[in-house]
Amino acid sequence: MQTTATPTHCPYCALQCGMNLTPAPDGTVEVSERTDFPVNRGALCGKGRTAPAVLASNVRLTSPLVREQGALVPASWDEALDRIAEGLRRTRAEYGPDGVGVFGGGGLTNEKAYTLGKFARVVLGTSQIDYNGRFCMSSAAAAGIKAFGLDRGLPFPLEDIPRTGCVILVGSNLAETMPPSLRFLTELKENGGTLIVIDPRRTRTAEQADLHLAPRPGTDLALALGLLHLVIAEGRVDEEYVQERTVGWEDARAAAMAHWPEYVERITGVSVPELRETVRMFCEPESAMVLTARGPEQQSKGTDTVGAWINLCLATGRAGRPLSGYGCLTGQGNGQGGREHGQKADQLPGYRKLDDPAARRHVAEVWGVDPDSLPGPGRSAYELLDALGTDVRSLLLMASNPVVSAPRAAHIEERIKSLDFLAVCDVVLSETAALADVVLPVTQWAEETGTTTNLEGRVLLRRQAITPPDGVRSDLEVLHELAARLGVEKGFPTDPEEIFEELRRASAGGPADYSGITYRRLVEENGVFWPCPAVEPEGLTGAEDGAGGPGAQGSAPGRPASTDDRPAATGDTPAATGDTADPAHPGTPRLFLDRFATPDGRARFVPVSHRAIAEEPDDEYPVLLTTGRVVAQYQSGAQTRRVAELNAAAPGPFVELHPRLAARLGAAEGDPVAVVSRRGRAVAPARITNTIRPDTVFMPFHWPGEGRANSLTNPALDPTSRMPEFKACAVRLEAVRP
């Protein structure tokens, strides 16, 4: 048995904290500090410290399960794989390729996400593939592409945050969602910088702020526009920067001027003096940042909302400059990499567009298929789930639990139950897996090697530390075996490094260019920031010497830099290999310092205007519901709810409400309260606090059953990102009497 420590990374959030894993003689795995990784410098939250608990055989799945007479029973791997292949084959024969759907997860490694997208398009021929990362930061991604020509969660490393002058944190509770990252904000204040937190609740993060703004949920767009109005009115626009590095200012300016402070105060509940103080704190230092998270993004106008915050950065010269910029705090462990390499409905590897003929040619050549054989873009995540049992009759699902995590969850549960066939690959028997016809037990983070990309765009190598138990196989083995059973014998290897080498070739010349990254570099350099193009002895592959990627510091003049307009590299591009990649290329920690990733190198102002949420309160549903996370649980809770220490800290759902609201309801602390929306009903104990707005209630979304918060949430979709409106819907409260 291996007894030495293996340096690797946490399986949970997008910080991807470094840790050491050491197998113990009793079969458990010990976690220890890994101080060399700059993101967490050894610090771990409770979820990270207890992550090995889910590796225990009494917690996780260790045998395939098949449904017999209504019950899931153990089966052999051959029987389970044969059933899946037959179910998918039968559906394709009866309903065509798009009768089969594929749903992935933001926790899959880059190699798995890449292979899953390839499997859907090459083996199944279906366009119906998306993943739960659509629910994470798709609105920020869409806004970033519109404004900058490129989407990477943070265009700078986390280490820059303490060195800036002011941070506006919008809709993020880092103290509970990413606890090790809170030190960057603490260091910011120690260095003399200021912190502004925007959240309808006075969270543990808001307690650290120099200024806390508590807008009404769903009004972040108006708030950002009101701040930009004041920037203009007070003469704080960086006119030289706007003229030299942007386009579209006049239209954005006109839109902002329609949102005068008193009007914004009425919409948001944030007072005019608070608005003015925010502008002063943000504009007076030489540098400043805006960081958004799910609060402003999970709205039916999330793309416009993030765009308004980007406009504020551009107007004040706070983008593409040292220690300044807009960034999105990605949530899921590989939420960034997961959408870059092909499991998103409209994308091919390298963050290429699926409807771009040049991109299709390039990737098809790497895959050895005809470009015309690749399907077009499919449905977004919620739309795909909503189509289950009607247009989409069978589903292959990996690393996701939509029965708990999807909006309008009771409806989605019924759609899943209506499928002709459902196959799930997971490490535990989640609420969704419990509905499947076949469940496959797959390896976990500590039992396999693969890469992830954290919220900074830093590509990392998770290394296998222990041997998986008997009866468990990797997702890559599953896709290899299914491809063979469905008639594709080659092209689906099981070795992650071999897949990564192919991913490098597929991504070469794309917006998310990994072609200069190798496993060896990831070990030696503790991660590499993309874009990192391959370098050949005579110059860069597909770019000029010295290029650092699209719109990057040392940007690539030899390559157009728009994610929408850039012609992808073709099959004539030399393949990147471990031999030709030059490890001297540094990667790109900081984007946009020379130019933005647009054809002319300028950022785009996108004019936006305030509009209401999709479902405003009324007489029948007079209160707003917002949802979020707690520190001891993660996402749908499928794994963390199986850890005793975490359950002791956060044993179940609750309804957080203001004392005035509780008094009107006649509810005391701990009393069961029913929260009712037009879509469903949830019941949980009352948690009464004056840290939330009187017109708002909060529920965490980690639990199934009667306390399932997503029974209530609204699937109204952003027209650009297709993000559902998790963060605001109209509800009423009812006292639950014994």
**Residue burial 56-87, b: 16+ Cβ < 10 Å; e: rest:** eeeebbebbbbbeeeebeebebeebbbbbbeb
Res 560: pLDDT: 28
Q: Is 189 exposed, middle or buried (0-12, 13-18, 19+ CB in 10 A)?
A: middle
The reported pLDDT for the residue numbered 463 is 96
Predicted pLDDT of residue 535: 74
To 10 degrees, the CA torsion angle through 432, 433, 435, 436? 130
∠491-494-495 over CA atoms, to 5°?
A: 110
Closest alpha carbon to 296 in 231, 224, 230: 224
CA atoms within 13 A on the CB side of 569: 31
For residue 102, list its beta bridge partners: 129, 396
Q: Are strands 289-292 and 166-170 parallel, antiparallel or unpaired?
A: parallel
Q: Is 580's pLDDT higher than 50?
A: no
Residue with tokens 């869409």: 142
* Nearest residue to 115 (alpha-carbon basis) of 509, 533, 401, 425: 425
pLDDT tier for residue 548 given thresholds of 50, 70 and 90: very low
Per-residue confidence at 544, pLDDT binned at 50, 70, 90?
very low
pLDDT of 584: 63
- Pairwise CA distance, residues 419 & 395, whole Å: 8
What's residue 415's pLDDT?
98
- For the segment 112-128, the average pLDDT, to the nearest whole number, is 98
Is residue 558 classed as helix, strand or coil in its secondary structure? coil
Check whether 730 has a pLDDT greater than 50. Answer: yes
Q: Tell me, what's the pLDDT at 136?
A: 87
Contacts of 675 (CB under 8 A, 6+ apart): 625, 655, 681, 682, 683, 684, 697, 699, 712, 731, 732, 733
Query: What is each CA distance from 171 to 118, 147, 176, 268, in whole angstroms?
Result: 35, 20, 12, 14
More confident residue, 535 or 515: 515
- pLDDT at 449 exceeding the cut of 60: yes
* Phi-psi region at 335: left, alpha or beta (left = phi > 0; alpha = psi -120 to 50): alpha
Instruction: State how far the Cα of 718 lies from the Cα of 456, in Å rounded to an integer.
Output: 25
3-class state of residue 49 by DSSP:
helix
Q: What is the CA radius of gyration of the chain?
A: 25
Kindly report the average pLDDT of the chain as a whole number: 92
Which amino acid is present at 424? V
Q: 623-735: what fold?
A: Barwin-like endoglucanases (2.40.40)
Question: Residue 145: is its pLDDT beyond 70?
Answer: yes
List the one residue out of 360, 371, 218, 368 whose CA is nearest residue 298: 218
Task: Give the model confidence (pLDDT) of 668-724 as tens digits.
Answer: 999 999 999 999 999 999 999 999 999 999 999 999 999 999 999 999 999 999 999
Q: Compute the distance between CA of residue 255 and CA of residue 608 in angstroms, rounded to an integer.
A: 6
Q: Give the C-alpha separation, 407 to 385, whole Å.
A: 10
Mean pLDDT value of segment 499-504: 98
Please give the C-alpha separations between residue 228 and each of 70, 368, 608, in angstroms, as whole numbers: 59, 50, 12
- Contact 506/114 with Cβ under 8 angstroms? yes
Phi, psi of 734 (to 5 degrees): -135, 135
Residue 299 clears pLDDT 50, i.e. is over it: yes
Cα–Cα distance, 127 to 98 (Å, whole number)? 6
DSSP string, 92-145: HHHH-GGGEEEEE-TTS-HHHHHHHHHIIIIII--S-EEEGGGGTSHHHHHHHH
pLDDT band for position 738 (50/70/90)? confident
Which CATH superfamily groups domain 154-328? Dimethylsulfoxide Reductase, domain 2 (3.40.228.10)
Chain centre to alpha carbon of residue 232: 33
- With a cut of 90, say whether residue 539 has pLDDT above it: no
Q: Round to whole Å and give the CA distance between 308 and 302.
A: 10
Instruction: Report the distance separating Cα 153 and Cα 142, nearest Å.
Output: 11
- Residue 569 has which token pair? 């590299």
How many other CB atoms are there within 10 angstroms of residue 393's CB atom? 23
Q: Which CATH class is domain 6-55?
A: mainly beta
- Is the pLDDT score of 569 beyond 80? no
- In DSSP terms, which residues pair with 438 in a beta bridge? 66, 423
Q: Locate tokens 């904290």: which residue?
A: 17
- Residue 536: predicted pLDDT: 55
Rounded CA gap, 216 and 694, in Å?
A: 10
Q: Are the C-beta atoms of residues 399 and 111 closer than 8 Å to each other?
A: no
* pLDDT in the model for residue 2: 56
Predicted confidence at residue 155, as pLDDT, reads: 97
Q: For residue range 593-604, list pLDDT tens digits in order.
A: 999 999 999 999
Is 561's pLDDT higher than 50? no
| pLDDT tier at 520, thresholds 50, 70, 90 | very high
Average pLDDT of the residues in 609-623: 97
State yes or no: pLDDT of 540 exceeds 60.
no
Helix axes 272-283, 220-233, angle to 10 degrees: 70
In the chain, what is the straight-line distance between the N-terminal and C-terminal CA atoms, in Å? 55
State residue 27's pLDDT score: 84
Residue 635 near residue 641 (C-beta atoms within 8 A): no
User: Which helix (DSSP H) or strand (DSSP E) does residue 309 occupy?
Assistant: helix 302-315
Contacts of 280 (CB under 8 A, 6+ apart): none
- Which residues lie below 8 Å from residue 324, measured CB to CB, with a gap of 6+? 164, 287, 288, 289, 313, 317, 318
Give the residue among 272, 273, 278, 270 at the shortest CA–CA distance from 194. 278
506 has a pLDDT exceeding 90? yes
Residue range 78-107: mean pLDDT, rounded: 98
Alpha helix segments (H runs only) across 153-301: 174-177, 182-190, 220-233, 239-245, 249-257, 261-268, 272-283, 294-297
If you count them, how many residues does the chain have?
738
DSSP letter string, 667-685: --TT-EEEEE-SS-EEEEE
Residue 36 DSSP symbol = T
Mean pLDDT of 12-18: 96
Alpha-carbon gap, residue 597 to 549, rounded angstroms: 9
Strand partners, 552: 591
Instruction: Name the residue ranges covered by the structural domains of the chain.
Output: 6-55, 154-328, 623-735
**CA-to-CA distance for 555 and 552, rounded, in angstroms?**
4
Residue 719 has phi, psi (to 5 degrees) of -65, -20
